[in-house]
Amino acid sequence: MNWFRRFMQGRYGPDSLSLVMLVAALIINAVANFTHLLVLSVIALALLALAFFRMLSRDYNRRYSENQKLLGLCYRVRNSFFRQKDKLAQSKDYRFFKCPSCKNNLRVPRGKGRVYVTCPRCGERFMKKT
């Protein structure tokens, strides 16, 4: 076990992105075995090699920033999912519009008839039916 610790000294090691790549490689390999498509086997092998390259890499900063990009993407996807869920929960009492000039999301109470909506960000005024 000591030689392994010495071998991994100064190397980046496993992270979320490497794990995702390994799992993707396994899934793609399983599909490749099932469909007998050589191109999928090659992609799975390339992903596997890339995952190991990342884990054994000594360029800590670059590997770290790659992983941060994945985590940022996951955060944005999760955030947008929860925003949609929140919107759906509020859709009985509110209507949602996008400002035509700055694309800001606006929330207006339902059942007020035709109203002028004023965007708080850019001041654009537009008529909407609530």
For residue 82, report the phi and psi dihedrals to the nearest 5 degrees. Answer: -70, -35
Our CB check for Zn ion shows the closer of 83 and 85 to be 83
Q: Residue 17 in contact with residue 52, Cβ under 8 Å? A: no
Query: Which H or E element spans position 77?
Result: helix 60-90
Among 57, 115, 124, 130, binds Zn ion (CB under 5 A): 124
Strands 105-109 and 94-98: antiparallel
Pick 30 or 102: Cβ nearer Zn ion? 102
DSSP 8-state code for residue 19: H
33 versus 118: smaller Cβ distance to Zn ion = 118
**Residue 97 Cβ vs Zn ion, minimum distance, rounded to whole Å:** 10
Q: Does 85 bind Zn ion (CB under 5 A)?
A: no
* Least distance (Å) between residue 98 CB and Zn ion: 9
Contact 2, 11 (CB under 8 A): no
Residues within window 92-111 making contact with Zn ion, judged by CB under 5 A? 99, 101-102, 104
| Contact of 129 with 110, CB cutoff 8 Å | no
- Select 80 or 101, whichever has its Cβ closest to Zn ion: 101
121 is a contact residue toward Zn ion (CB under 5 A): yes
